[in-house]
């Protein structure tokens, strides 16, 4: 049996709300707090860093840092709309920047843009970066979309034309946008260099309003304003990201004013954190979903009957209520309720321990004297991988262990450092290399709802981020059709089918679509997160 679930949040636009513990700041007689450092913003999010080059990183944190420092064709504003940055205009068929056959995309670049070392940015940097991404020796996370580029033409220093094998409707996701990971690289610094091992990755030279000046591993990352940024000097002078890997320690740092902001406050904490004196909290819907993945290379989990039974044995609603405190949007699909492709009829398995036991019994899994189920010498016992410093996940796993035990399934719990759990395949990441049976984390879906890189047969890691090794050829055909056409109606029909197939096959369980929270020192203005980017306009931040 499937059941649809939902929560009472607004549809169609991001939910943004603010709470404060003082009167409105910076608009009246408010005096700057004694602990506020003029011109400096200090923040943390409970994570550490694998490297600072977004081309090679899997971490949302690195995308946040890159929002300050790196250069992209487009950004996404507080409503999730794509806005030009280094490109003057977003290509469409209407403006002639997408060819009639859909296989040529023209990008007109902004003039007068400088790298942080003072050299000019040109179309040659774009062509070089595409070449680097397509180089099979480069340890990129994925070449999704990029592998369709057959040639990059640069008729002048400010025009780039991507020639494609076939139309690619989701280009705004991948071609130099913050949610697509790769930022534009400086040809003059990296040509002839092995980018995988380049010192550049520890202190990139970028095109953003701030430049890196220090990364003290395990301690902090320091950025300073770039006065020659094309948009004008930023209002702040200095950004400091502090490496604090434990959520409770981040909370203490906010309370003691060692930081000015706690970014993406975990749902188990946000109610307490938002009560911190002299702070404001912004809650905003994002295109991120929490999930539990199954490793389908495990022969037991390759059996859909087992996956369906395990899905029936997880009370997603109770987890949402008890651990997430009702934050976010309870849905059965990874495609955001903010998206034009969202299926409000998407279904998922209802919590039913008796039905889970019966399904395993029918599948031949018999309960033994040890309290676990066995079949043909195999035992239903799995390992759940998570990250350290995550009390919310600890609480989830504790409940899931109890539910699984009641249906005759054992569940061990192994916690890893965040950067090890989410490292790339080449770096031996636990998730990417499938050294898990079950794993839980969150994916952020790009503005265009293409899921190819996460679920397509052709994107099983190391070829993409399909870490589950899930493969459904019918689903792949729908994904491909959705990318070949620019018409939203046809694409929506494809994505509805994708959501139906995922509900049936249950290669993963959607926990919830997230609402993120950022709590910050109320001396600060200009913090205005959107569904895609936490810091889409850092040049406007001030104190």
pLDDT digit string, tens, across residues 429-452: 999 999 999 999 999 888 889 999
CA distance 286 to 2: 26
In the DSSP assignment, the letter for residue 74 is E
Domains and CATH numbers, the chain: 2-7+286-516 (3.10.105.10)
For residues 107 and 154, the answer to whether their CB atoms sit within 8 Å is no
Among residues 476, 469, 473, the alpha carbon closest in space to that of 432 is found at: 469
Query: Sign (positive/negative) of CA torsion 274, 280, 284, 290?
Result: negative
What does the block give as tokens for 118? 């003072």
pLDDT at 27 over 80: no
Compare 273 and 19 and report the one with higher pLDDT: 273
CA distance 311 to 504: 11
Q: What is the DSSP annotation of 245-293?
A: --HHHHHHHHHTTS-SEE-S--TTTHHHHTT-TTEEEEEEEEEEEEEEE
CA distance 391 to 77: 31
pLDDT at 268: 83
pLDDT digit string, tens, across residues 280-306: 999 999 998 999 999 999 999 999 999
CA distance 158 to 231: 17
CA distance 393 to 521: 27
For residues 75 and 83, the answer to whether their CB atoms sit within 8 Å is yes
CA dist 157 to 112, 124, 171, 317, 390, Å?
A: 11, 7, 22, 54, 47
pLDDT digit string, tens, across residues 98-152: 999 999 999 999 999 999 999 999 999 999 999 999 999 999 877 888 999 999 9
pLDDT at 29: 57
CA distance 76 to 85: 10
What does the block give as tokens for 239? 């950004």
**Count of residues in the chain:** 543
- 235 Cα distance to chain centroid: 28
Our separate counts of H helices and E strands in the chain read 14, 21
Q: What is the DSSP annotation of 473-485?
A: HHHHHHHHHHHH-
pLDDT digit string, tens, across residues 356-375: 999 999 999 999 999 999 99
Q: What is the DSSP annotation of 510-527?
A: EEEEEEEEEEEETT-B--
pLDDT band, very low/low/confident/very high, at 20 (cuts 50, 70, 90): low
pLDDT band, very low/low/confident/very high, at 273 (cuts 50, 70, 90): very high
pLDDT band, very low/low/confident/very high, at 174 (cuts 50, 70, 90): confident
What does the block give as tokens for 416? 């890893």
What does the block give as tokens for 175? 């071609």
Q: Tokens 């056409």 identify what position? A: 485
Q: Which residues pair with 366 in a beta bridge?
A: 374
Report the percent of the chain where pLDDT is more than 90. 80
Interacting residues of 103 by C-beta distance below 8 A, sequence separation 6+: 163, 164, 165, 166, 167
What does the block give as tokens for 213? 């000046």
- Contacts of 86-95 with C-beta under 8 Å, sequence gap 24+, read 86/110, 86/113, 86/121, 86/176, 86/184, 86/207, 90/172, 91/171, 93/486
């Amino acid at each position: 049996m499937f059941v649809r679930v939902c929560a009472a949040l607004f549809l169609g636009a991001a939910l943004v709300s603010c709470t404060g513990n003082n009167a409105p700041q910076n608009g009246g007689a408010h005096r700057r707090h004694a602990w506020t450092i003029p011109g400096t913003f200090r923040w943390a999010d409970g994570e550490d860093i694998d490297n600072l080059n977004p081309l090679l990183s899997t971490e949302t944190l690195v995308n946040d840092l890159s929002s300050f420092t790196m250069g992209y064709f487009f950004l996404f504003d507080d409503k999730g709309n794509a806005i030009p940055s280094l490109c003057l205009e977003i290509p469409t068929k209407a403006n002639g920047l997408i060819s009639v056959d859909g296989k040529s995309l023209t990008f007109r670049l902004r003039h007068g843009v400088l790298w942080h070392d003072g050299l000019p940015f040109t179309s040659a940097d774009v062509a070089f970066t595409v070449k680097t991404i397509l180089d099979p020796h480069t340890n990129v996370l994925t070449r999704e979309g990029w592998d369709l580029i057959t040639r990059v033409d640069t008729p002048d220093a400010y025009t780039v034309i991507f020639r494609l094998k076939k139309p690619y409707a989701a280009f705004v996701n991948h071609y130099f946008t913050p949610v697509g990971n790769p930022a534009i690289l400086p040809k003059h610094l990296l040509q002839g260099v092995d980018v995988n091992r380049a010192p550049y990755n520890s202190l990139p030279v970028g095109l953003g309003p701030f430049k890196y000046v220090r990364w003290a591993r395990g301690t902090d990352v320091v950025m300073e304003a770039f006065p020659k940024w094309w948009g004008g000097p930023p209002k702040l002078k200095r950004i400091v990201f502090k490496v604090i890997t434990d959520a409770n320690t981040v909370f203490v740092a906010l309370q003691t004013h060692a930081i000015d902001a706690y970014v993406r406050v975990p749902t188990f904490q946000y109610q307490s954190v938002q009560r911190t004196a002299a702070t404001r909290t912004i809650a905003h819907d994002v295109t991120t979903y929490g999930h539990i993945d199954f490793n389908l290379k495990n022969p037991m989990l390759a059996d859909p009957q087992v996956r369906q039974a395990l899905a029936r044995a997880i009370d997603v609603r109770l987890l949402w209520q008890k651990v997430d405190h009702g934050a976010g949007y309870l849905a059965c699909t990874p495609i955001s309720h903010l998206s034009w492709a969202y299926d409000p009829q998407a279904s998922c398995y209802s919590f039913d321990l008796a039905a889970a036991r019966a399904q395993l019994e029918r599948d031949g899994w018999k309960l033994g004297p040890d309290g676990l189920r066995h079949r043909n010498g195999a035992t239903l016992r799995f390992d759940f991988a998570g990250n350290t410093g995550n009390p919310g996940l600890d609480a989830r796993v504790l409940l899931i262990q109890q539910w699984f035990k009641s249906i005759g399934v054992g569940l061990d719990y192994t916690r890893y450092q965040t950067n090890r759990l989410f490292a790339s395949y080449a770096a031996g990441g636990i998730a990417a290399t499938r050294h898990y049976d079950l794993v839980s984390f969150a994916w952020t879906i790009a503005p265009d709802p293409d899921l190819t890189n996460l679920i397509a047969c052709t994107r099983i890691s190391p070829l993409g981020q399909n870490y589950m090794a899930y493969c459904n050829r019918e689903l792949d055909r729908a994904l491909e059709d959705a990318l070949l056409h620019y018409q939203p109606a046809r694409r929506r029909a494809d994505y509805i089918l994708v959501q139906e197939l995922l509900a049936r096959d249950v290669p993963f369980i959607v926990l919830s679509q997230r609402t993120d929270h950022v709590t910050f020192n109320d001396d600060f203005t200009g913090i205005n997160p959107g569904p895609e980017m936490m810091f889409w306009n850092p040049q406007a931040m001030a104190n």
